[in-house]
Structure 1
């Protein structure tokens, strides 16, 4: 790829919500205003963030990968044993576990890039990047589906799904996957394995928005707005509305033990989502303002922003490890069948899980929740 003599690369413009500090090339260079070490036409190097990435990313991604695969693997295994008696929530949780697992499987590629460079070529850059994108969005939208189902069942006593129509739940999940596939189209088009001048001529998997004209900033802004609106703000608004309404509905009724437990779980769901993804989205919004020249940009602030993006995005990946705990391990029937599996494998448990409930999660079946029956 050829570039003009005055063209440089921005510092670690993390594409959308992809891991690490991926860069996207466009016309931009620092002016000598007396407040930065970079001069006109010179690159702002990333030596500090590169050293940080080479240590932090491989270590953390390895931990997240092991914990996430273990948790989601157990969810898939247990639900596979329960396939004859799946509830609506079980179906969504299964798809959620699959999406989280596929997302986690992309982490070794980003860890290898951080420790060295991208060794897998443009083809695998597109495959891996799009796979990450699809499963990231899918995980969020499946959480939204679970929230809407619980909201309609508990607050309005409306059965959007039922056991008599299992195809309807599967159709909803299929629509989510197809919609996420559509959202990944820009990644199939623009992702390439390219050399980054600011990162010591390393080959990295990044968006090349200069493929179709000189509207690089416009393409980048459109992709950022798509992520901010569809990937975070809209799902966040739905989650807050649904769970707030559910909490109000539960609070007005009698405060039984199951209801108190359900309220704690609901609060845990909301807190886990926002603690995991809000810091990254805030930093990403600041990065968007930097790229639009709305905030004074220097090499020092860019380095700080690069490292902040890596740290906060890594925190977001921890949500893949929390999902199995929040959506499955708290379920009585899930724990009971997990105990049976462990006993079958020869593991002795200190305590036995009571088998007195037919619920497969903290949520009761759709259609049985019109009176807040958790």
Structure 2
């Protein structure tokens, strides 16, 4: 048998590696690594400055938002959340440059805070749509929803595992947490606004259009709804509930990256918008005085 093996050639047969399917190539991060770093640095600086500026303006000029929708309590909670969100982006900017160097538990805390800020804002925006005449009760409700939003980020923290990057883990034992995170994100940024929008249309149809109040803070859902859909498709793909090709997976990878990048813009776009509206109201009020 040893002589047979030595003299045997495989020239007439294809290599085994050639028969195996080639892995899909994901090139989004490699293609946009510099753009990702620039976006994170820009969002960190502008998000922090704009959010702090909005918070200071709310504290010094609360009359600009009294009896207006959105009110000062809602905007203050949102500015606090965007400030924390922008701060967490600084650590991910360092991660892009030199990998995750902050440890296992800090990875969980950072990703938990990042998603908690998003969930808190999403719940606050939805909760403020219901008109409540008593200011103290409305403020208490919004504060409770803000805290619940951070609690909803527990699955995001549990599945966070640092390696070269701080990213969600695909370990089988963390599968329930991963599924819960996807469902929470989808519920807050896709299902909840859609249900409330349909309710608004139905109430308007019956002549009760003042029962639900919607304002510019609902732009938050426009920023993050695409990413919620991308997360859903990615989870369906992981669960083998979608039959796909490498081309589809590569397109989904781009969709995930671009939609998350678009969502990150909210941390300075929305505070800047609200700050501009407040300053405009101040000028208008001064111009109207005799």
Same fold per TM (> 0.5)?
yes
The partner residue of 1:127 within 109, 118, 123 is 109
Q: Aligned residue for 1:147?
A: 129
The partner residue of 2:49 within 70, 74, 96 is 70
Task: Quickly say closer, same or farther: Cα 1:80–1:301, change in 2 above 3 A.
Answer: same
The partner residue of 1:171 within 123, 128, 140 is 140
Greater shift in the superposed pair: 307-316 or 217-226: 217-226
- For residues 103-155 of structure 1, the C-alpha deviation after alignment (integer angstroms, 9 at most, x for no partner) is 1111122222233311111121022111112111111112113322xxx3xxx
**Bigger Rg over Cα:** 2
- For residues 222-264 of structure 1, the C-alpha deviation after alignment (integer angstroms, 9 at most, x for no partner) is 3312221234311342255348857996999xxxxxxxxxx9x
Separation in 1, partners of 2:39, 2:116 = 22
Cα deviation, residue 67, structure 1: 3.0
Separation in 2, partners of 1:236, 1:321 = 24
Cα deviation, residue 215, structure 1: 4.5
- For residues 170-202 of structure 1, the C-alpha deviation after alignment (integer angstroms, 9 at most, x for no partner) is 4223312321232122244342323xxxxxxxx
1:184 aligns with 2:131: no
Task: Quickly say closer, same or farther: Cα 1:103–1:242, change in 2 above 3 A.
Answer: farther
Separation in 2, partners of 1:133, 1:122 = 17
Greater shift in the superposed pair: 121-130 or 111-120: 111-120
Q: Aligned residue for 1:292?
A: 239
Q: Aligned residue for 1:101?
A: 83
| RMSD between superposed Cα atoms in Å | 3.5
Q: Is the 8 A contact 1:58 1:111 kept in 2?
A: yes
1:237 aligns with 2:182: no
Q: Aligned residue for 1:364?
A: none
Separation in 2, partners of 1:81, 1:305 = 45
Q: Aligned residue for 1:280?
A: 227
Cα deviation, residue 219, structure 1: 3.9
Q: Is the 8 A contact 2:186 2:229 kept in 1?
A: no
Aligned residues: 268
- For residues 21-49 of structure 1, the C-alpha deviation after alignment (integer angstroms, 9 at most, x for no partner) is xxxxxxxxxxx9979523xxxxx564x23
Q: Please report the TM-score for the alignment, with normalisation by the length of structure 2.
A: 0.76
Question: Which structure: greater helix fraction?
Answer: 2
Task: Quickly say closer, same or farther: Cα 1:226–1:172, change in 2 above 3 A.
Answer: same
Q: Aligned residue for 2:12?
A: none
Q: Is the 8 A contact 1:190 1:208 kept in 2?
A: yes
- For residues 317-352 of structure 1, the C-alpha deviation after alignment (integer angstroms, 9 at most, x for no partner) is 222223224444324xx4355xxxxxxxxxxxxxx5
Q: Aligned residue for 1:138?
A: 120
Task: Quickly say closer, same or farther: Cα 1:188–1:275, change in 2 above 3 A.
Answer: closer
Q: Is the 8 A contact 2:88 2:114 kept in 1?
A: yes
Q: Aligned residue for 1:335?
A: 280
Separation in 2, partners of 1:80, 1:74 = 10
Aligned-partner SS, 2:286: coil
1:161 aligns with 2:122: no
Separation in 2, partners of 1:317, 1:133 = 11
Task: Quickly say closer, same or farther: Cα 1:36–1:307, change in 2 above 3 A.
Answer: farther
Unaligned runs of 5+ in 1: 1-31, 39-43, 153-158, 195-202, 253-262, 338-351, 359-374
